[in-house]
Amino acid sequence: MKVKIVTDSTSDISREMAKDLCIEVVPGYVRFGKETYRDGVELSKAGFYEKLIESPFHPVTSEATPQDFTEVYSRCSDEAEGIVSIHVSSKISRIFDSAQKGKNLLKRRCDIEIVDSHFTSIGLGLIVLNAARLAKAGEDLQSLVKETRKAIDQTSMLGLLDTMKYIARGGRATESVIELSSVLQIKPMFAFRSGEVVVDGLVRTYAHGIDKLYKFVERVPAIKDLGIAYSTNYSQAETMKQRLGSVFPKEKI
């Protein structure tokens, strides 16, 4: 049985990687004021961050519609007998629910398994890439689902924010917390626990946060895959990649 892998644009998988591994990426929507874009299609990641900084409007995101998923599933079923659709945590987005509804709308017969990754961004991306490699190697649907759930249990993700400015604009933190972090120059670290984003400590400087990210990787034995996600500063991501080369082959990061 040939199996297709589907994910959503929160996975941050590049077009090149998606094409190489035959991954279907269903874009969500981003709105700045009255302008709406398909994420990663009509608005690149770099373009998003440019608008985030320059636009007077804070972005509003919305998930792909059930019809969007139905169209993708229909197209995939022309090429494969089964689909494994892996998505951002259902605790932080309604994309998983939208994918389920899209599956129910599909008229033709096709085995579809929809999986909640419990992550987003690079965490979701690594899980999807692993599944796509297995699919390309010829694994059947049930084996792929089993291995994907195993990968989810073995995935960890830690992040660092340099500023809470955009958290404040989005209404995701109180003014007192924002002001306190600004005065004390505190940088929040965040992680995923059971599909939810949680604060995983505070650091006094960005450099200390970078050190914590390095140690987070350094103490994990037998790493299979490693990825770095960044927003606007590629050079810092590249520096981290070079540093992590001491604990994991940097050409595989």
Domains along the sequence of the chain with CATH: 3-28+63-153 (3.40.50.10170), 158-252 (3.30.1180.10)
Position 184 confidence tier, pLDDT thresholds 50, 70, 90:
low
Position 167 confidence tier, pLDDT thresholds 50, 70, 90:
low
CA dist., res. 132 & res. 19, Å (int)? 11
> What's the CA angle centered on 58, arms 54 and 64, to 5 degrees?
115
Average of per-residue pLDDT across 157-185: 65
Return the sign of the alpha-carbon dihedral for residues 193, 46, 249, 10: positive
For position 78, what pLDDT does the model report? 93
For position 181, what pLDDT does the model report? 56
For position 199, what pLDDT does the model report? 85
CA dist., res. 133 & res. 244, Å (int)? 24
Average of per-residue pLDDT across 9-15: 94
Average of per-residue pLDDT across 149-177: 76
Which residue bears the tokens 């965040």? Answer: 190
For position 182, what pLDDT does the model report? 59
Position 208 confidence tier, pLDDT thresholds 50, 70, 90:
very high
Surface-to-core class of residue 108, CB atoms within 10 Å of its CB (0-12 exposed, 13-18 middle, 19+ buried) = exposed
CA dist., res. 197 & res. 212, Å (int)? 18
Contact 10, 124 (CB under 8 A): yes
pLDDT tens figures, 42-74: 999 889 989 988 999 989 999 999 999 999 999
> What's the CA angle centered on 230, arms 228 and 235, to 5 degrees?
90
pLDDT tens figures, 83-132: 999 999 999 999 999 999 999 999 888 999 999 999 999 999 999 999 99
The 3-state DSSP class for residue 215 equals: helix
CA dist., res. 228 & res. 106, Å (int)? 36
For position 171, what pLDDT does the model report? 53
